[in-house]
A and B are shown apart, each in its own frame.
Chain A
Amino acid sequence: MPIEIPKDKWPGSIRKVTLGATAAEGGTRAKTVTVGGQATMPYLHFEAPTPNQPVVAIEIKSRKPEDWSPLLAEVWGEAMADPAKWAKAAEAAGADLIVLALTLADTPDDAVKAVKSVLGATGLPVIVWGPGQAEKDNELLVPVAEAAKGEKLVLGLCEDKNYRTIVATAMANGHLIQCRTPMDVNLAKQLNILITDMGLPADRILMDPTTGALGYGIEYGYSVMERLRLAALQGDSMTQMPLIVTPGFEAWKAKESKVGEGVPAAWGNWKERAVHWETLTAAALMESGADILILRHPESVKRIKAAISELVTA
């Protein structure tokens, strides 16, 4: 007996957002990356195709990070001391995008130099994060935005306490922004309203709802993502931004990935466990609708990219 699978038809869809600009578009990227466009919940291919598959970004830093896991230092090696080399290595490891995180030690000149060297070393679109302190973020991101005018960078992180300067410079210089709210649907939507009220077109916003790592609140993170995605499909235009998430950052904070000694033997091989932690965190977020997954370890990148291609062809 044939069974008819019920299909949902949604009135809304996710906005398509394009990162990066080629020479023809006023930038220098070898290619652009487009995310969004979904008209149904993730991977329900019998309802609607996935027009743009999720993409993987690799996070690098403008200076060699001292607090990263030795497992990451081991795999990236000397490239970690030079953002241009690191970006190249990340591209070779399969990244679709590069996230360049600036640090508190950077001067505006250092920041511009680091961004330019990364843009020179890779043809991938680039996301640039300030070090995460409001004043310093503004001090570094404004000259970066001006120096890379037209590249369609993503500037972050915009938060409710500090978004005006970053949004203004993104508008003036043709960039996009990543806006982050602390795991709360109401606040996520409100920040999108405030930012579009300033005049930034909605298709230049990526929404970062914040997540936790596997075992550290990931269920709160993906519940918020699911709720935002459902609202978007129901037609709420201020929740229709593609979702960008940071499973690498979160997973490498977890004890299970960070600590190799003094843990129960049953936890098994440290490196295996750490990569599993990052991969499983990312996979759960991908299945709840993430469009951009920011990772740190090349092995996790490989596994997540394999999972993506299986999911979109399934």
Chain B
Amino acid sequence: MYIIGENIHIIAEKVKEALTNRDREFFMDLAVKQVEAGAKAVDINLGPRKKDFAEVWPWIIETIETVVDVPLSIDTTNVEGMEAALKSIKKAQPILNSTSAEPERLEKVPALAKKYGAKVIALTLKPEGIPIEADARVTIAVETLIPRMMEIDFPMKDLIIDPLVLTVSGCQQYCPHLIETVRTLQYAWDPAPMISVGLSNVSNAVPNENRPLINRVYLAMLMGVGLQMMIANPFDKEQNDVIRWIETKDTGTPLAKAYNKIAERIAASEEPQPEDFNMADPEQAAVWKTTQILLNKVIYADGYLNQ
């Protein structure tokens, strides 16, 4: 699993504060720790930075490239900010995060990525919103995103499609569709485009104590349909266990076996079954209940584990 570490994000109070203070040590430390924890790239989201992008981006890129060699993911909606960042990159091939299928963004962002030799993440998002159905999202990729890349002669190996994870709390019906989108997108082009998701979006608006479990179970399902890249928290040890169990087919513990079974079932276009889990074990029972909300079989409620 290629993890793009998500922890340098302006939404975190500490990141916000460190940025205000231009605290180099903080950012260097957070970048190094993510890479040590297994991140293969580091995402940088500092918000739109409409006023100070020309100063902030070169500063943060220089700071982080002082200590790590991995690709940096430039996560902003500000196209001028993107360019300021791209100009400053000295080490690995960066990732532009992101464009969508909205005409204005699709006009500018891929061209910028091409100019600076960056990879680009493209969201299956149109001006009218995100479609629910898997087919409609694949259609956006095939009929809008990929043709635009070909039009500007963008190297297809540098295109990463993000089919957009939405939260189980409020957009529950989207969750199974995203799984099918990831499955189908791999057949959308030859060679298959890279696919990446923002995993933790699946548990937005969920109480904090339940978020990691929902993220992990969804991850097992997405690995079942072949997901190999995601923006996620590399420090989540239990998530990293799930990745290792599924990647190495490690069924040494009952829980590892249960997670492998989820991935296998989803890979075979089957649904996880109660007999796949030892319901006497509360941990496995919780995993089972989580599969049911993520597949939209049981209506999500904050207290779904207590039902």
Give A contacts to B, CB under 8 Å.
Answer: 185-187, 189-190, 192-194, 197, 227-228, 231, 234, 236-239
Mind listing 7 A-B residue pairs with CB under 8 Å? A186-B169, A186-B170, A190-B302, A193-B306, A228-B299, A236-B298, A239-B299
Among A187, A190, A239, chain B packs the most CB atoms within 10 A around the CB of A190
Question: Which B residues are within 8 Å of any A CB, using their own CB?
Answer: 169-170, 172, 297-304, 306-307
CB of B306 within 8 A of CB of A189, answer no
Give the chain A neighbours of B306 by CB distance below 8 A. 193, 197
Give the secondary structure class of B's interface: loop
Tell me the complex Cα distance, A105–B243, Å. Answer: 62
For the complex, what is the distance from the CA of A193 to the CA of B302, rounded to whole Å?
Answer: 9
From residue B72, how far is it (CB to closest CB) to chain A in Å?
37
Task: Determine the residue in chain A with the shortest Cβ distance to B303.
Answer: A193
Q: Report the bound CA distance from A186 to B297 in whole Å.
A: 13
Top 9 A-B residue pairs of the complex, sorted by shortest distance between their CB atoms: A190-B301, A189-B301, A193-B303, A231-B299, A189-B299, A190-B302, A236-B298, A185-B299, A186-B300
A197 adjacent to B303 (CB under 8 Å): yes
**How far does the alpha carbon of A72 sit from the alpha carbon of B297 in the complex, in Å?**
44
Q: Which residue of B lies closest to A239 (CB)?
A: B299
Contact of B172 among A186, A237, A238, A239 (CB under 8 A): A186
Contact at B303–A194, with CB atoms within 8 Å? Answer: yes
* Interface secondary structure of A, over-half rule: helix
Choose one: B169, B298, B303; the contact of A231 (CB below 8 Å): B298
Chain B residues with CB below 8 A from A237, complex form: 307
Measured CB to CB, the nearest residue on chain A to B172 is A186
Which residues of chain B have C-beta atoms less than 8 A from A238's C-beta?
Answer: 299, 301, 307
CB neighbours (8 Å) of B169 from chain A are: 186
Which residues of chain B are near A185, meaning CB under 8 Å? 299
When chains A and B are docked, how far (Å) is the Cα of A234 from the Cα of B172? 16
Report how far A190 CA is from B304 CA in the complex, Å: 8
CB <8 Å contact, B170 and A190: no
Query: Quick one: closest A residue to B292, CB to CB?
Result: A236
Q: How far, in angstroms, from A238 to B299 measured CA to CA in the complex? A: 9
Q: How far, in angstroms, from A111 to B253 measured CA to CA in the complex?
A: 61
Q: Other than the known A187-B301, A238-B301, what 18 A-B pairs have Cβ atoms closer than 8 Å?
A: A185-B299, A186-B169, A186-B172, A186-B299, A186-B300, A189-B299, A189-B300, A189-B301, A190-B301, A193-B303, A193-B307, A227-B299, A234-B297, A236-B298, A236-B299, A238-B299, A238-B307, A239-B299
Contacts of A186 in B (CB 8 A): 169-170, 172, 299-302
Q: How far is the CA of A243 from the CA of B191 in the complex (A)?
A: 52
- Chain B CB count within 10 A is highest, among A186, A187, A231, A238, for A186
Closest to A230 in B: B299
Most A Cβ at <10 Å: residue of B170, B302, B306, B307: B307
